[in-house]
Amino acid sequence: MIELYLLLILMILGAVIALEAKDLLSAIISLGLIGFSLVLIFLILQAPDLAIVQIVVETLSLIILIAAILKTSLKDTAQENGLKEKFLLGGGLLFLIIFMFFVNQAIKFLPHFGFPLMRMAKNYIDLGLIKTGAVNLVAAIILDFRGYDTLGEATILFTAVIGVGAVLRKIGRKK
Amino acid sequence: MKGMTIIVKTIARLISGLILLFGIYIVLHGHLTPGGGFAGGVIIAGCFIFLFLAYGSEETKNEVSKWRASLCESFGLLLFWYLAMLGIFAGTQFFLNIINKGNPFHLFSAGIIPLCNIGIGIEVGGGLFAIFIILATLKMEEKK
Amino acid sequence: MIYLLSILLFAIGLYGVLVKRNLIKIIIGLSIMEYATFLFFALVGYKKEGVAPIISKGFEEVVFVDPLPQALVLTGIVIGLSTTALLVSIAVRIYEKYKTFDIRKIKKLKG
């Protein structure tokens, strides 16, 4: 599993660069780096459905972000470097160390990596082909066993399109 | 926004048909191979976005495209709702898989699942193309 | 150990949302938090020596990975795209009115 660790370290480095870059275009390209590394990780973890959806959605998300910043400004706002910022950074690092300690204690209760519990999945794998007739088990789950989630997701996408159309409307001038 | 050079316009005309065909293939074979409605819908939107980016917003008619994309999106969601209501019309519960299941590994199998994939593909494709048109043809007003 | 790295990615995204002053950096931090969540879900569902959950002819005795977290993450990815698109449109509208992305200067609430 050495390639999994390498890709994860690449994602963490990319996240730090994306948040600290002074030019907004470089930050968005680093976000693209994180997204495409996630596609490789999904392929290593044997999830081709997720890899296809993530690669096309990542491309579209980059297009939307770049279209937005090309119409507005391209520079990051200036950060002052006084005493308050150093104090905040120190406090942030301390919080991160305490947070990681508690996460380490909580992860001990999860099953080990590579041996999932699979209580519901056993039923889906055994009876999926007989009850739905679909060969792709993930498609059978999202459209037959858990169809309400897909209905809600389609509605959320519809609402987002209505929202974007309503926010970016041309306002008429009051005479 | 302006269009691109004539090389890009020619290549866009040639390739966008293949991209649309690939998107329709992924939508239709959603129950046999990985993919499904969402990935195929985004690829279909990508085909139209490619044409729009190559030709610029002055040559394409914006109002007609926006109205057509919105119509496709509403039609796709209504198709998905109607397929879910087929269970109630037939007498049993909501969202039941009542069409004949057929043999596995064939294109016309798995009951309601391919038709739902088609509805979702049309909806996602139209919706994402509408978002892109609204964002790309936005005119920032200059305040004095 | 690998779970720790994915939650570290989540914490970096959280730092971006809380500390940064540019609106676009806040949106980038939110996207990083979403990627970390999807990564954690996919890691929980991995079975050693498993293959992708698609039944093929002639391969009857294979061990599949868990398909349920994959279905949940599929829904989540599309919802993340919708959220990003809506946030970006609101940020463009704010820039149009105030001519800056700095959140310290967006304070004038006119009636």
- Residue B144, classed as helix, strand or coil, is coil
- A35/B116 Cα distance (integer angstroms): 28
What pLDDT does residue C9 have?
Answer: 93
Out of A38, A118, A125, whose CB is closest to C35? Answer: A38
Residue of A nearest to C86 (CA): A164
Concatenating the DSSP letter of every residue in chain C gives -HHHHHHHHHHHHHHHHHH--BHHHHHHHHHHHHHHHHHHHHHHT-BTT-B-SB--TT--S-PBPPHHHHHHHHHHHHHHHHHHHHHHHHHHHHHHHHS--BTTS------
Q: How many CB atoms lie within 10 A of CB A102?
A: 9
* pLDDT score of A79: 67
Query: A127-130: which pairs have CB atoms within 8 A and are 24 or more residues apart?
Result: A129/B104, A129/C55
pLDDT at B68: 85
Q: Which of A129, A144, A158 sits opposite B127 (nearest CB)?
A: A158
Q: Is the pLDDT of residue B18 over 80?
A: yes
**CA A119 – CA C103 distance, rounded (Å):** 47
Q: Between B34, B135, B141, which is nearest C89 by CB?
A: B135
Ordered by start, the domain boundaries in chain A are 1-74, 116-170
| Digit-coded pLDDT (tens) for A131-148 | 888 888 898 889 888 888
Q: How many CB atoms lie within 10 A of CB B137?
A: 17
**Cβ–Cβ contact A159 with B under 8 A:** no
The CATH topology of domain C2-48+64-98 is Helix Hairpins (1.10.287)
- Average pLDDT, stretch C27-45? 94
CA distance A76 to chain C (A): 7
Quick one: pLDDT at residue B47?
A: 92
A83–chain C nearest CA distance, Å: 15
Residue B77 pLDDT greater than 60, yes or no: yes
Who wins on pLDDT, B2 or A92? A92
For residue C111, pLDDT over 50 is answered with: no
Give the separation between CA C104 and CA A78, rounded to whole angstroms. Answer: 12
Which pLDDT score is estimated for A29?
93
* CB B126, CB B71: distance < 8 Å: yes
The DSSP call for residue A122 is H
Checking if the pLDDT of C90 tops 70, the result is yes
Token pair, residue A29, equals: 């390209």
Where helices occur in B4-142 by DSSP H, the ranges are 6-28, 37-59, 62-89, 113-136
C62 touches B: beta carbon within 8 Å: no
Is the per-residue pLDDT at C32 higher than 80?
yes
> What pLDDT, on the 0 to 100 scale, is given for residue B144?
44
pLDDT at site C7: 92
> Is residue A102 very low, low, confident or very high in pLDDT (cuts 50, 70, 90)?
very high
**Domains in chain C: boundaries:** 2-48+64-98
Predicted structure pTM score: 0.90
Computed over every residue of chain A, the mean pLDDT equals 87
pLDDT confidence of residue C51: 87
Residue B34 confidence (pLDDT) above 50: yes
B37, B116 in Cβ contact below 8 A? Answer: yes
Give residue A172's pLDDT band: very low, low, confident or very high (50, 70, 90): low
**Who wins on pLDDT, B107 or B122?**
B122
Q: Return the pLDDT at A173.
A: 56
- pLDDT for C109 beyond 90: no
**pLDDT exceeds cutoff 90 at C29:** yes
Q: State how far the Cα of A128 lies from the Cα of A138, in Å rounded to an integer.
A: 10
Residue A35 has pLDDT above 90, yes or no: yes
ipTM: 0.90
Question: By mean pLDDT, which of A145-154, B9-18, B130-139 is the weakest?
Answer: B130-139
> Which residue bears the tokens 């039941």?
B96
